[in-house]
């Protein structure tokens, strides 16, 4: 996709000033705390607000330009919008809710197109049901299907998982991954959850008080320790692109290789050679000065300390370079002092296999560079 935004807008007590250009296809995540301007930005793309000033274009087509006096009204923008709570018509069946999207787009009837979306989102068994009989996850799948059937030029997903519990979230994440991989529709995903963002997104815009604190590939942004206060220290960690190198079926383990070493992770159902992304939380990585021996942790990656960043409390974030990859360890300041850690030093980053959750690994490598 290419999405190009340059938006300035004021509400009483809030000013949005955001500019970004996505350089290629993929999912763009708008990430940041509540009230930082994510929904306002998405609303500007959808045409639900008219920014005071700026420009919005999708795939080269200008939808808004305050200087050139361009304003494409929302109904003509071909934008699919999915909200936090599925907004389905309660009196219509799933099938008719889906068709509503189709009709709204004024498209000629095409059963094959509908069948494709039904199959993509696993809606076949639900078609005759009414929304109130569906689970939250199923309802959300229907609203994504309805949005897809409007033949959108961009799909806007505003916290589509927030109202769902853990298993339902995983279910939708799985369908969103399929959507990303099987359709070419650009997606903008608004999320508070670093977990969702790192699993799905290619590009990440970090919002803070109406401005962009950072914008770049998920791989680059998650490797920036200066952003940890905004990306959430507890859950923060790098995302690595890695390739499945082999399986140890007897122990239900998989070996991943990345530029910088190998990782032993819980067994994955992916063929050798498959490109994966894996999130390694900073708090799961410990540091040793010597190569560890007789230790239960399966991963010890040789790395060099690049930078250390003290947080206001007991901890320090340590940015590490291993080959071309970056890792981040979160340790105590006490450990830093005890081991005399400093930039330039060689260390071993130790990671227990059991800390790498299956849900933090997903298909998909790196999108093209900025």
Q: Which residues bind ligand ATP (CB under 6 A)?
A: 11, 14, 32, 34-40, 192, 207
**Shorter beta-carbon distance to ligand ATP: residue 18 or 347:** 18
The residue (of 46 and 263) whose beta carbon lies closer to ligand ATP is 46
Nearer to ligand ATP, 203 or 258 (CB): 203
CA–CA gap between residue 162 and residue 137 (Å, rounded): 11
Q: Which is nearer to ligand ATP, 11 or 234 (CB)?
A: 11
Minimum Å distance from CB 325 to ligand ATP? 31
Helix (H, G, I), strand (E, B) or coil at 144: helix
Report the alpha-carbon distance of residue 53 to residue 50 in Å, rounded: 8
| Long-range contacts of residues 342-345, Cβ cutoff 8 Å, at least 24 apart | 342/305, 342/308, 343/305, 343/306, 343/307, 343/308, 344/304, 344/305, 345/289, 345/304, 345/305
If the CB atoms of residues 130 and 211 are measured against ligand ATP, the closer one turns out to be 211
- In angstroms, give the least distance from the CB of 327 to ligand ATP: 29
Smallest distance from ligand ATP to CB 11, Å: 3
What contacts 24+ positions apart, CB below 8 Å, involve 72-75? 72/47, 73/47, 74/46, 74/47, 74/48
Task: Rank residues 207 and 315 by Cβ distance to ligand ATP and give the closer one.
Answer: 207
Least CB distance to ligand ATP at residue 207 (A): 6
How many angstroms separate the Cα of 316 from the Cα of each of 54, 195, 226, 309? 40, 22, 12, 6
Structure tokens at 293: 């021996």
C-beta of 34 vs 111, nearer to ligand ATP: 34
Least separation in angstroms between residue 12's CB and ligand ATP is 6
CA-closest candidate to residue 141, choices 116, 162, 159, 117: 117
What residues pair up with 266 in beta bridges, in sequence order? 253
Minimum distance from CB of 39 to ligand ATP (Å)? Answer: 3
| Torsion of Cα atoms, 309 then 311 then 313 then 318, to 10° | -40
Any idea which residue has 């082999």 for tokens? 246
**In terms of C-beta distances under 8 Å and separation of at least 24 residues, what long-range contacts does 20-24 make, across chains too?**
20/205, 20/212, 20/215, 22/186, 22/203, 23/368, 23/369, 23/370, 24/202, 24/367, 24/368
CB of 33: closest distance to ligand ATP in angstroms? Answer: 7
Nearer to ligand ATP, 32 or 237 (CB): 32
**Strands 14-21 and 3-11: what pairing?**
antiparallel
Three-state helix/strand/coil letters over 145-167: HHHHCCCCCEEEEECCCCCCCHH
Rounded to a whole number of angstroms, the minimum distance from the CB of residue 35 to ligand ATP is 4
The dihedral over CA atoms of 263, 269, 273, 278, expressed in degrees to the nearest 10, equals -40
Indicate the residue among 35 and 291 with the shorter CB distance to ligand ATP. 35
């Amino acid at each position: 996709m290419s999405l190009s935004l340059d938006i300035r807008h004021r509400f009483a007590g809030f000013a949005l000033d955001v500019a970004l250009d996505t350089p290629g296809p993929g999912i763009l995540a708008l990430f940041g705390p509540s009230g930082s301007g994510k929904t306002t930005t998405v609303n500007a793309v959808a045409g639900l607000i008219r920014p005071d000033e700026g420009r919005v274009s999708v795939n080269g087509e200008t939808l808004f330009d305050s200087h050139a006096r361009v304003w494409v009204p929302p109904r003509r923008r071909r934008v699919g919008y999915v909200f936090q709570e599925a907004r389905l018509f309660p009196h219509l069946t799933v099938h008719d809710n889906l068709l509503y999207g189709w009709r709204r787009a004024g498209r000629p009837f095409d059963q094959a197109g509908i069948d494709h979306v039904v199959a993509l989102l696993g809606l076949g068994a639900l078609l005759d049901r009414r929304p109130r009989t569906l689970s939250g996850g199923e309802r959300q799948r229907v609203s994504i299907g309805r949005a897809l059937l409007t033949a959108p030029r961009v799909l806007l997903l505003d916290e589509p998982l927030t109202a769902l519990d853990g298993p339902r979230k995983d279910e939708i994440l799985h369908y969103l991954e399929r959507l990303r991989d099987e359709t070419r529709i650009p997606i903008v995903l608004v999320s508070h959850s670093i977990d969702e963002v790192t699993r799905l997104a290619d590009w990440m815009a970090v919002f803070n008080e109406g401005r962009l604190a950072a914008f770049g590939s998920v791989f680059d942004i998650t490797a920036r320790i200066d952003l940890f206060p905004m990306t959430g220290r507890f859950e923060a960690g790098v995302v690595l692109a890695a390739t499945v190198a082999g399986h140890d079926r007897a122990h239900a383990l998989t070996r991943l290789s990345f530029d910088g070493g190998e990782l032993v992770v819980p067994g994955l159902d992916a063929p050798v050679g498959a490109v994966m992304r894996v999130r390694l939380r900073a708090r799961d990585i410990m540091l040793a000065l010597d190569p560890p021996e007789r230790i239960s942790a399966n991963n010890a990656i040789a790395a060099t300390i690049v930078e250390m960043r003290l947080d206001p409390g007991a901890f320090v974030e340590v940015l590490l370079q291993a080959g071309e990859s970056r890792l981040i360890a979160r340790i105590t300041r006490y450990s830093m002092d005890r081991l005399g850690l400093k930039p330039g030093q060689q260390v071993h980053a130790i990671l227990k296999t059991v800390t790498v959750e299956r849900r933090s690994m997903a298909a998909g490598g790196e999108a093209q560079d900025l």
